[in-house]
Amino acid sequence: MKSNNLKWFAIVMVISFIAIPIHALEIRGDVAGSVNSMSDLVDNSYTWSPQNFAGFDYDMDHDVGSDTLITTLTEDGKLSGDAPYGIVYETSNLTKMFSNAQPDMEYGKLRVSTIDSTNGIITLDNKDNAIILSKNKNTEIMPGIFIKVADNDTLRYYIYKNITQPGTYEIRSLVAGTVNGLSNLEDDAFTWNTQNFAGFYYDIKKDIGTERLKTTLTDDNNISGDPPYGIVYQTTAQTKDYEYWGWGSYNVIGFQGEEYFAGYVSSDNAEKNVLFRESTDENSLSSEQLQKILMDDKTEVTLNKGESIKLKDGYVLFVKGINSEGQIYLELQKDGKLVNKSFLAPSAYGATNYDKTYCYHKNVGTQKNLVTIAVRFGSTYKDEERALAVVDAIWQISDIPIDVRANMQYGKMTITSVDANAGTITMDNKDNPITLTKKNDIELMPGIHIRTANNDTLRYYIYKTVTVGKAPA
């Protein structure tokens, strides 16, 4: 009896939830496939260049950057390894990686097909290396350059550069102004969004991300700080499913390039309303504040009596006891001090999501009783020798909010409006005019800058700085 009941506990996963330094940086290109419910493929092809992929080298001062990578899909979503090839990459023979390239030399899944010494161009393709773009697939196509497919039945994918060397790096946007001899400004304006600026928040799995920043020039390359303002930034909350589907959805919003929680969402299915119902002030945006999302995990973790789950920001949840009826006694500590204790009965007959979910709520800023931690216990087991509990979902948001009140200033940007009904935050550069002189670098908001070329011809982009590992002294 005892051994049979323990069969499904035979494999015990031990997972430590700890905060770790960022050891790798993913610089992504534009997203290809179905974006905002529309396909951006042309004849099943997509092209990345230095304009829409910051992983390719580009000298903005001299407007030099020639790399292009084209993917072409067959009907079954495959990048063919036969002619015509599914991946074709062109680069300069001055590129360091290819300085010693010879015909048929292999670089990952690509091989050198032609070397045009006259024009200084090397072409590579994926001969004999077909790739099927199946969901949630990540493939290195050449050293440091990958292609990632969304974990979704709808096809979305992008190329990205993986950086692991410690240091501070720049994620740049598409370049505005005069590029390749032509201006890409419309009515002296340019708009960056999640497609052409990888520094904005974007979730490829759910196709979520709405941040937009528009610059409009007046005479002499000025960005006015008076109405109509020269810089307008806007972002809108969207509904996103928890990793554990049984909790339903919440509102997420990108703000200044980071992902934030904007509020709990009510569901027509009462079973999915646990976090919404347990919160008094469930809408963060209506309280003019946001919280960082710290954990959203559905990995199963098996805990013995006395063991704990390490959460973020110093929180630890202990399984202090499990009785013969499967009831769990829990204690939550922060920085070693007890802050909450609770009982759950996840294995009781007819147990609901409410019975299985531990919720810790507290006052966060101006919000009352907001759930900041939720841990779901799928089941328990107890016999003469062992007492076990299985955690199958964890959710945590920060209990230190950021303010998004009207007139709040972030760098040179000021929040002009917060529309909780529409879920929209708008900022502009009120009283902060900017002149785009050559070789200029200005921080618009924390971590996001605008930079101009060291050239009399106006070119500029926005960028975000990210540190990998420990930056060199």
Tokens of 32: 């290809």
Assessment of whether the complete model's pTM goes beyond 0.85: yes
The predicted-structure confidence for 190-208, as pLDDT tens digits, reads as follows 999 999 999 999 999 999 9
Residue among 392, 400, 388, 396 at smallest CA distance from 360: 396
| Predicted confidence (pLDDT) at residue 462 exceeds the cutoff of 90 | yes
The predicted-structure confidence for 51-83, as pLDDT tens digits, reads as follows 999 999 999 999 999 899 999 999 888 999 999
The predicted-structure confidence for 5-23, as pLDDT tens digits, reads as follows 333 333 232 322 223 335 7
Residue 83 contacts residue 200 (beta carbons within 8 Å): no
**pLDDT score at 97:** 85
Residues 6+ apart with CB under 8 A from 5: 381, 383
| Predicted confidence (pLDDT) at residue 348 exceeds the cutoff of 50 | yes
**pLDDT score at 22:** 57
Q: Which residues of 372-404 are buried (b: 16+ CB within 10 A; e: fewer)?
A: bbbbbbbbbbbeeeebbbbbbbbbbbbbebbeb
Residue among 452, 451, 450, 447 at smallest CA distance from 467: 447
3-class state of residue 181 by DSSP = coil
Task: Compute the mean pLDDT over every residue in the chain, rounded to the nearest whole number.
Answer: 92
* Half-sphere exposure for 438 (CA within 13 Å, toward CB): 9
Residue 265 contacts residue 250 (beta carbons within 8 Å): yes
Residue among 254, 272, 273, 276 at smallest CA distance from 264: 276
What the chain holds in terms of domains, given with CATH numbers, is 1-15+168-467 (2.60.98.40), 25-163 (2.60.40.4190)
